[in-house]
Structure 1
């Protein structure tokens, strides 16, 4: 059934994690994935995050699903923070669960255009970005 499935290409950014693991130095920092790890290789939950999560739990009023575009108030507030007074009703903002999901939402939007624009990616880029955009 899976005979025709090819190996997924190696993610060039994640190769940095392999280099990090192989480096014997004790004073190294792993910046490849954009997360903080302590001296023991653990990713601690910061106190500010714990407090924010606690506040969310204490103040949430519903467990209903959000709209596909996320929390409208959050998107509107963030839009104003990023765009300032230029943010108005002509802008659309959406909230996703991660960068690859946001890229997929954008790719779906671009695929509906009569002439899809050129999309530029950094090199190296994550291995799943090219298939998502293709």
Structure 2
């Protein structure tokens, strides 16, 4: 996965991958406070369904789906776009009721704040078959 910016160093790449994976964990997805700490105040997303959501919608919807979804992800690539902005790209798929769903290509923008990195934007696009 190529893109703009420069490759992040190994420590930053590991940190941002861990934050992204934390958002996949059922215990984090169930905890509105934990989610709020990871999502930037200006957060928005374009879901793989094509629907757009803001932070409030994400904080309301994500905790409701936590028990039904297991998320598998791989192929992480992290690029630093500016000193305080990074892009994380990877692919993931949900497992619902034991059934693996279609792979989705993911891209997230993370903004650095004094208290750490927070997700600013996220987009999912179904992988071509």
Larger Rg: 1
More helix, by proportion: 1
TM-score, with normalisation over the residues of structure 1?
Answer: 0.24
